[in-house]
Amino acid sequence: MLDLSEFFSQEPEPCKADISLSGWLEAFVEHYFVYGEGGGSKAFHWLTVYYDPDIDPIYEAVEAILANVVAYVSSDYRWSFVLSGHLEKFRKDTAGYGMVYLPVPDFREEALQCSRIDLLPQEFSGILWIDDDFMDDENIPFDFESFSLIDDGVDYLNPKHFSVARLIRTCIF
């Protein structure tokens, strides 16, 4: 398991880029499409980075489909979750942005945990953390209060195991 409290405690390098990530990757590196940048929003959110090496960038655009997602980058360019198989290329292609990279094998695999929620940056203060393991393990006392929240359909993360996809979805406050 990869611990987010350790990942987010790493200090990113200063961003030396003088162009947006989407502008850089789409116009200069090519074969990329960055969704979520622009629109004047200053609020923290995640950018979705798509990549397709097989297109002709002069005549075709990268399709925004799940199969082409290679990274999720914080809107302030501090952090990025990157598919392990694309890490070296993405690191090279975004070298001037100073971000901290966390390679993951798959965005849907529950490979993340957060042992120290108190160490997370302010951007994650809106996340509701519920250890829901009591629902699958009869040896853990049933938590009626947590179950009530879960039953009401609130978005939450289990600090012991969650995926990047679930984290991204939960961060949409």
% of the chain surpassing 70 pLDDT: 98
Q: What is the mean pLDDT of the segment spanning 141-167? A: 90
Better pLDDT: 148 or 80: 80
Instruction: Find all residues with CB under 8 Å of 38, minimum gap 6, and list them.
Output: 20, 22
Quickly count: other Cβ atoms within 10 Å of residue 83's Cβ: 19
Inter-CA distances, 65 with 50, 52, 69, 141, 160, Å: 8, 10, 7, 42, 29
Please give the model's pTM, rounded to 2 decimal places.
0.90
% of the chain surpassing 90 pLDDT: 65
* pLDDT digits 0-9 by tens, 53-62: 999 999 999 9
Q: DSSP letter for 2, please.
A: E
Specify the 3-state DSSP secondary structure of 72: strand
